[in-house]
Amino acid sequence: MSETTINDTSYKPTSPNSKLDFASLWEYAPAPESSANLDIKERYELFIDGKFQKPSKGIYFKSVNPANEEELTEFAEATQKDVDKAVKAARKAFEGEWSNLSAKSRSKYIYRIARMLQERAREFAIAESLDGGKPIRESRDVDVPLAAAHFFYYAGWADKLDYAFPGKTPEPLGVCGQIIPWNFPLLMLAWKIAPALACGNTIVLKPAETTSLTAMMFAELVKDAGLPKGVVNIVTGAGQTGAEIVNHKGIDKVAFTGSTTVGKIIQKSLAGTDKKYTLELGGKGALIIFEDAAIDQAVEGIINAIFFNQGHVCCAGSRLLVQEGIADTVMQKLRDRLETLIVGDPMDKNTDIGAINSKQQFETINKYLEVGVEEGAEVYQSSCSIPENGYFIRPTLLGNVSQSNKVVQEEIFGPVLTIQTFRTADEAIEKANNTPYGLAGGVWTDKGSKIFKVGKELRSGVVWANTYNKFDPTSPFGGYKESGVGREGGLHGLAAYVNLK
Ligand code: NAP
Ligand code: MG
């Protein structure tokens, strides 16, 4: 099986005049979103039983803006004692006021949350970009509107659960422990909280250590929405706080989104208990481009698939499989397009690729680039300038790689795309399926029959055709193999929060 070889020195822009040369031909004027009116507190406490409470050990941890390495604020570290308090508050609310509410009233609360998220959309978008490094254009146009859409969607289901499960009697599970990652902080919170509330559960949620700001702003919103106390509790902290939630006896269900490594630890610790769980874990999505594809459209798809959110996307298309006959053309167009991407200040509306979420992730990605070079990969990075401070990585292509390479098998979770070629559809499918993951994939072709073949044979929870990274609250999402257990979103997402009698 032959592989594409990238000879770095061979690249020349297709046409210097048609190339969008931001450095010398013309420039966008900076268009930074203002954070001046955003009221970020110096410190955030734990949100337990409807009140902001100090952590039992009085320990706080700093939160950093990854685009300039400056401290933004600090969050409370929840201990076992604090988690216990939160679980008890959630239990009390579950057995009391929340269960006694009519489904219609529950629905109104969720609807109110959705409306308030829309009203405060700008604040949330700015906070998300400051805390996590993602371009403001994405927080503003994707993360926050989609988070609100999830609350609207599940608000609609809350009083119609009997129709969702005809012939069955759905009952809430009880207290749900929810643990989320740092790549889509508010959106992952919405994926977790909205269906749990719709089904009548109560919640103890832990955001990721590096991105707790929008979760704490959401706690303020919950308070303002007048939700009965104890229904939503938000505790901040490190991995240990997450483990305290998972292992607490008062938890009925664990909903986890994060790495496969931590997912496996959680799955082991839940074995032998009667807790339910859903695990949304890592991925290594393949992008399969056939010779008959609309190539420019496919190139746009590749750019979106791997560089959206700096590649910090579980379902990112991080492996390109391109049919041999068009490999050179696709490479040329991809490199031309790479040169037009703007890497820099996440608060600038022109930015395409923002900051890497944390120092730790920055080091992880760079380590993978070193591993790639050791494995014989040829590295191509765009020539754009990047800021001196903060954690930034240029969009990167790794050619001359083979199926057994670490960079092809493991999730890098950054703006790094590996490139391989194939001759037949069967070879593409075999290569695409040959990783421990099975979360997402994409296919570009003019032929519907190939879309059906690839869609059916890819072991992926999601397969997009002639597009990528399209999300909707009505659509289920989840993985096969080491990408996880269970589904979130749509009706499937409701089923994960009820017992059916
Ligand atoms: P992570 O290290 O697994 O952390 C996820 C969450 O778990 C964080 O809140 C983390 O706290 C917490 N945690 C860490 N150790 C724990 C333990 N022993 N017990 C309980 N909780 C623990 O993952 P990440 O680096 O934040 O996120 C990136 C990963 O998430 C990627 O692999 C990505 O593919 C995956 N992801 C999957 C989906 C999906 O839907 N399938 C969606 C988004 C992301 P700290 O923040 O303090 O470490
Ligand atoms: Mg941060």
Identify whether the C-beta of residue 158 lies closer than 8 Å to the C-beta of residue 103: yes
Q: How confident is the model at residue 1 (pLDDT cuts 50, 70, 90)?
A: very low
**pTM metric for this prediction:** 0.95
Q: 126 vs 65, 157, 332, 414, CA distance in Å?
A: 12, 30, 36, 22
Q: How confident is the model at residue 5 (pLDDT cuts 50, 70, 90)?
A: very low
Q: For the chain, what is the mean pLDDT?
A: 95
CA 40 to centroid of ligand 2, rounded, Å: 13
Q: Active-site residue among 280, 339, 482, 488?
A: 280
Q: Which residues contact 113 (CB under 8 A, 6 or more apart)?
A: 151, 155, 221, 222, 225, 227
What average pLDDT does this structure show over 430-455?
97
> Could you report how far apart the first and last alpha carbons of the chain are, in Å?
53
In ligand 1, the atom with minimum distance to the C-alpha of 261 is 3
Q: 4 vs 135, 322, 360, 432, CA distance in Å?
A: 32, 9, 31, 16
What average pLDDT does this structure show over 490-498?
96
**Segment 330-360, tens digit of pLDDT:** 999 999 999 999 999 999 999 999 999 999 9
CA 23 to centroid of ligand 1, rounded, Å: 37
Take atom 2 of ligand 1 and give the residue whose Cα is closest.
Answer: 259
**Segment 358-387, tens digit of pLDDT:** 999 999 999 999 999 999 999 999 998 899
Is the CB of 183 inside a 6 Å radius of any atom of ligand 1?
A: yes
Residue 312 has pLDDT above 60, yes or no: yes
What average pLDDT does this structure show over 473-491?
97
CA 301 to centroid of ligand 2, rounded, Å: 29
Residue 179 has pLDDT above 50, yes or no: yes
Domain ranges of the chain: 3-30+283-465, 43-60+73-281+483-500
In ligand 1, the atom with minimum distance to the C-alpha of 181 is 26
Residue 2 has pLDDT above 50, yes or no: no
Question: Is 314 among the catalytic positions?
Answer: yes
CATH number of 43-60+73-281+483-500, picked from 3.40.605.10, 3.30.540.10, 3.40.50.10790, 3.40.47.40: 3.40.605.10
What average pLDDT does this structure show over 421-433?
98
Alpha-carbon distance 129 to 65, whole Å?
9
Is the CB of 283 inside a 6 Å radius of any atom of ligand 1?
A: yes
Is the CB of 250 inside a 6 Å radius of any atom of ligand 1?
A: no
What average pLDDT does this structure show over 169-181?
97
Predicted local distance difference test score (pLDDT) of residue 35 = 86
Residue 9 has pLDDT above 80, yes or no: no
**Rounded (10°) angle between helices 185-198 and 103-119:** 160
Is the CB of 208 inside a 6 Å radius of any atom of ligand 1?
A: yes
What value does the CA radius of gyration of the chain take, rounded to a whole number of Å? 23
Joined tokens for residue 351: 């930015």
Predicted local distance difference test score (pLDDT) of residue 36 = 82
Is the CB of 206 inside a 6 Å radius of any atom of ligand 1?
A: yes
CA 182 to centroid of ligand 1, rounded, Å: 7
**Residue to probe by mutation, ligand 1, list 83, 182, 318, 361, most atoms within 8 Å of CB:** 182
pLDDT cut 70: percent of the chain above it: 95
Residue 3 has pLDDT above 90, yes or no: no
What average pLDDT does this structure show over 179-189?
98
Is the CB of 352 inside a 6 Å radius of any atom of ligand 1?
A: no
Residue 7 has pLDDT above 50, yes or no: no
DSSP assigned state of 65:
E
Predicted local distance difference test score (pLDDT) of residue 283 = 98
Is the CB of 242 inside a 6 Å radius of any atom of ligand 1?
A: yes
Is the CB of 301 inside a 6 Å radius of any atom of ligand 1?
A: no
Residue 237 has pLDDT above 60, yes or no: yes
Take atom 26 of ligand 1 and give the residue whose Cα is closest.
Answer: 181
pLDDT cut 90: percent of the chain above it: 91
CATH architecture of 3-30+283-465: 3-Layer(aba) Sandwich (3.40)
Q: Active-site residue among 128, 199, 209, 314?
A: 314
Phi-psi map region of 45: left, alpha, beta (phi>0 left; psi -120 to 50 alpha) = beta
**Residue to probe by mutation, ligand 1, list 62, 247, 259, most atoms within 8 Å of CB:** 259
Joined tokens for residue 214: 């929008």
Question: Is 280 among the catalytic positions?
Answer: yes
Predicted local distance difference test score (pLDDT) of residue 24 = 56
Q: Mapped to the 3 state alphabet, what secondary structure does 339-395 carry? A: HCCCECCCCECCCCECCCCCHHHHHHHHHHHHHHHHCCCEEEECCCCCCCCCCCCCC
Alpha-carbon distance 218 to 201, whole Å?
18
Predicted local distance difference test score (pLDDT) of residue 8 = 55
CA 426 to centroid of ligand 2, rounded, Å: 43
